[in-house]
Structure 1
Amino acid sequence: MDSFIQDYEGRENEHNVHSDNGEQIEQYNNNLEIDTNTLLLELANDTEDNTDKISNYLASTYEISLYHKLCDQSLYHRLTYEDLTSSYVVEGGYTENNFRGIIIDTGAATNSTAGYDQVRAYLREFNGKIYFSTLGAVKAYFGVGGSISIGTISVPTSIREVIFHILNAQTPFLLCLQGMDRLGVYLNNTTNEILRN
């Protein structure tokens, strides 16, 4: 690779950057707005007639910057014990591609449940087994419709092992409040902590 060039955008009203006026060129360069989400790679290819042909390739640097941001936030949290964010957006839904963790269900659910796709994502990352012998043990209602459980999975947590009823629905692992009572823990919603009774 002959060069790595950061993709950038200039300001709309800036012209004549190729003039002999050095100050104008320096001011133009200082006013560039860098887009760090895209990296433009230029590759020089030798063709049969020995002329150089430049090929442009775009590559996302989002994953790299996300990794560095997570590292920075982890170090900050370790040193200060403060959380930088209090809410998160899940993109892509609760599919089998990424395990999204366990969420406390503060609704009226009486059983801990998990969507089948999230169970598959969990099994890809951790060991576990689906027990189909419990088919139909739970019927969960979400909004207008309901879903009958197709089995259960036992998940070890820092609290204790939790049994989740698997639903054929696009939902995360939902730990119900009654299940937390059975485990001897509760959610302190003023400090956002799970505590033992």
Structure 2
Amino acid sequence: MRQRIHQMDRPTSSEVRQELDRVKHGRTYRKTLKSTIYILVTVAAFAVLVATLWMPVLEVYGGSMEPTLQEGELVAAVKSGDFKTGDVVAFYYNNKILVKRVIAGPGDWVDVSKDGTVTVNGTVLDEPYVDELAYGDTNIDLPYQVPDGRWFVMGDHRSVSVDSRNKAVGPVAAEQVVGKLVYTIWPLSQLGSVE
């Protein structure tokens, strides 16, 4: 008795080439995907490092800095220890980060009149960023001399801001400072430098 032997169809050279190309493409795809993931992880780690060490991004809560900053805005701060009158800074206070404006530096004399006019070393401050002057929550003895290594800060919305005028906050020490606010990054309609 004869047995039939079935031969399988042999693939053509173009089918072999297509299969090799498919396998090669799969290897290239996996290699590219792995490389992309490594790059993304590295960039993310670098961004976190920059944000933590040099340029933290903060969200504004409350209305003590209105009209300059509104609640919900995202702002970028630059780590710095050199401030001048008018700079807006973020600092730690009771496990929170507060945002206020530098009014005076170490050794300066600050006085606030009952109508809210602020003088530093006998000179009335020009404060175009304040919509309405107010004496606010003040319980320090005025005039007040700012201690060494500290800054006297106030919110732009003087009637609601609790700041260096109050003994609870007092003048801000260098180790409390997160950084100087330099740029509003969100919402896009408010994109620009912090003045």
> Normalising TM by the smaller chain, what interval?
under 0.3
Q: Between Structure 1 and Structure 2, which shows a larger proportion of strand residues? A: 1
| Higher RCO structure, 1 or 2 (CA under 8 Å, sep 6+) | 2
**Rg (Cα) greater in structure:** 2
So what's the TM-score if we normalise by structure 1?
A: 0.26
So what's the TM-score if we normalise by structure 2?
A: 0.26
